[in-house]
Each structure stands twice: as structure tokens, then as C-alpha cells.
Structure 1
Amino acid sequence: MTSTTTVTGAVFIATSVDGYIARKDGGIDWLTRRDDDMSETGYDEFAASVDAIAMGRNTYEVGLTLDPWPYEGMRVLVVSSRLDPDSDTRVTVHRSIDDLLETATTEGLGHLYVDGGQLITACLNRKIITELTITTVPVLLGSGLPLFGAIADDVFLEHQRTTTLSKGLVQSVYRVSADAMLEA
């Protein structure tokens, strides 16, 4: 892919204390059934700071179960080799990360919200991610889908801040080390 625009990505995600973002079946009931005021997490400000959201098919399918649709008003890019491209007019389906990045570059979408464990890992391996905001929810799941898969190289992070939110949620923000980005 030839690019004149650098596409970067940021992560804003919740995990259990034991590092899972969903149950093995993709369920996030442990998160959605909480009666916390999630506005205090800074999600709205974060979402307003990005040009689009990029997610994998599994994350998209979880979003379909939520009412209302959580991405209203956002440009949504889904990476999937199986999803029918015409199945949902609210999203654009891309067959590969290369297709996604080409579209982002063409459309001038320079800063993406990257969501979903597999896509986050793939974007970390491509050195696209510049910041991670991880909110830890005080629950142990014991098993499930981990936030990170196999990372090709060490990713050095610079801690920016940690905030304790209501009901025991802990949010940490990390920047990917500039040295790690130079090696891209």
C-alpha cells in the first residue's frame, strides 16, 4: 500500500481484572449489566477525537446486540473476510487490514478508534496504535477472549495516567513509545 497520509489508531477498551474483553462466546454482559455511569470514563470525548472506528467482525456482531446502536453518527469500518458487504448500510466492510488502511488514507481518516482484540493486536503488530486507554472492571471471568493476542515484537508503553473511577473501575492511559513507532 502506498500512502501519503499516516493512519494512526487509538484503543479505548474495557477488560476484566484477569485481562478478558469478552466471554468465550463474545458476550459482554459482565460489562453491560453494570449500572455505572460510563460517561465518566471519557468515552464520549475519545469518540469525538477520532475520524472513524475500525473493528473486527466479532466486535461488530456484539455491537448489533446493543440497543441503541452504540456507533450512531460514526464512520464504521469493519474488517471481515466473511461478512456480506451489503448487510448493513451503517458500516463499510473491508476484506483485509490493507483494504481498511487504503480506504482510511483515501478518505483522509487519519486517526482511527481500533476496537476488538484481534484487530488491536494486528494494528499493534503493524505499529499503527499510538495510544491505549484500558479500563479495568472489577470482575474475574476466569476465561474468555483476551485483549491481546501474539505480539510480534515488544511494544514499549509510556504511562500517561491512571484514574480510579466510580465502583472500582480503574482506567490507565498509555502512549506507545516514540522509539517503537520509529522502528515501523
Structure 2
Amino acid sequence: MRKLTYGLNASVDGYVAAPGGDLGWSEPSDELFEWWLEEERAIDLLLYGRGLWESMSSYWPTGDQQPGATPAEVDFARNWRDTPKLVFSSTVEEVDWNTRLVAGDAVAEIARLKAEDGGPMRVAGATLAASVVRAGLVDEYTVVTHPVLLGGGAPLFAALDGWVDLELTETRTFPGGTVLTRYETKR
């Protein structure tokens, strides 16, 4: 059985994007960027919803060719292109960069993939994650909390039908007061 993780940057008040989709508040320190790069290298399959897919695919296919790209950004772009990805959307018409498009039931497909042998998968994007969290498929939650209040936007977690018991497995503070908390789902 594969492990499924959900991890994103979030504000202290629990948003992953400010109103209008602005992500400028979550600019990572070099140390945090390196940490995210290591996290992504450990993932065998990335699962995207439309919104985050559009954001990631608008930059990372050529992120290593941008003027001033750091060595970590070059590595991240290459890893992003090389890592297999699924995009769950009924409106996206075409994907590229080692990616497959899935227009059907995301929860059923992710449950099927999770039941297979293989390396870890990461669900990326709060809207897609909401249905996967509700279905009880997530094994690990990684929340990187930035010291900012957004007051609204896209929430990290949508309403649940009941609580999910978690066990804290890691904490870490990064420059600028950004804090990582990692939890495993108690089963």
C-alpha cells in the first residue's frame, strides 16, 4: 500500500492562498526552499487539482532556465518535470511534463492508486485534498505555517464530516518564523 501525504504552505489563520489566489506571502527562505526540494524528491507521484496545476505548470517547466535561478530552483524544476504527475480536472484539456490527465472520480482513482505497491504520493492543492481528506485517505499531513494572517482566501482544510485524530511526528522552525508541523493519521 502506498503512503499518501498532504502538505502545503499555510497562513497562521489557515489559508493556502490569499483572496484572488495571491501566493506572494509564502515566499520561502533558502532553507525552506531546500527543505521543500528534499520533500518533493521523496515523492513518486504528485496529485494535482486544476488550480495548483495551472500555477505550477506556468513556471516550473522552465524554472531552471530563468535568469538568476538558484541551484536549488534548478534542481526543483528538473525534479518537478521528471516526477510523474496526475491532474484531476474536467476542464483542463491538455497536460505535459510527465503528466496524465484524469477527468473521472478523483477519490476513487486515488484510492485505487493508494492500494497499489509503490512509493509515496502527495496530494497538492486544497480543493482536491478536501475530498481526499474527507474520504480518510491521507496518511500524513505536513503544514508549513508562515507568520502572516490573510483574513480570507482558499482554506487549507475544508469542512469535515467528523474529526481526524493525528499524532505529531515533527516540528521545525525556519528563518523568518515559518514553522513546520508534521502529523500522521492515527488509524
* Contact 2:95-2:101 within 8 A present in 1 as well: no
Q: What whole-Å deviation, never above 9, does each CA across 1:97-142 have from its counterpart, x for those lacking one?
A: 1235446667x54521111111222111222111111111111111
Aligned-partner Cα distance in 1 for 2:29–2:3: 33
Q: What whole-Å deviation, never above 9, does each CA across 1:38-61 have from its counterpart, x for those lacking one?
A: 245x32332222211001001101
Cα RMSD (Å) of the superposition? 2.2
Detail structure 1 runs of 4+ shifted over 3 Å in the superposition.
34-37, 99-106
Aligned-partner Cα distance in 1 for 2:87–2:163: 27
Aligned-partner Cα distance in 1 for 2:48–2:118: 14
Aligned-partner Cα distance in 1 for 2:182–2:109: 29
The code of the aligned residue for 2:24 comes to D
Q: Does 1:81 align with 2:90?
A: yes
Quick one: structure 1 residues 143 and 167, their matched pair in 2 at CA, closer, same or farther if it must change by over 3 Å?
same
The code of the aligned residue for 2:139 comes to T
Q: How far does residue 162 in structure 1 lie from its aligned partner after superposition?
A: 1.6
The code of the aligned residue for 1:45 comes to E
More helix by share: 2
Aligned-partner Cα distance in 1 for 2:121–2:36: 14
Q: What whole-Å deviation, never above 9, does each CA across 1:56-95 have from its counterpart, x for those lacking one?
A: 00110111333518422111111111111x3435421111
Q: What whole-Å deviation, never above 9, does each CA across 1:10-49 have from its counterpart, x for those lacking one?
A: 12211011111012322212123x5543245x32332222
Unaligned runs of 5+ in 2: 65-76
Query: For residues 1-184 of structure 1, what are the structure 2 equivalents within 5 Å?
Result: 6-32=1-27, 35-40=29-34, 42-67=35-60, 68=63, 70=77, 71-84=80-93, 86-95=94-103, 96-97=105-106, 98-102=108-112, 108-178=117-187
Instruction: With the length of structure 2 as denominator, give the TM-score of the two structures.
Output: 0.79
Instruction: With the length of structure 1 as denominator, give the TM-score of the two structures.
Output: 0.80
Aligned-partner Cα distance in 2 for 1:138–1:83: 34
Unaligned runs of 5+ in 1: 1-5, 179-184
Quick one: structure 1 residues 35 and 50, their matched pair in 2 at CA, closer, same or farther if it must change by over 3 Å?
closer
Aligned-partner Cα distance in 2 for 1:169–1:155: 24
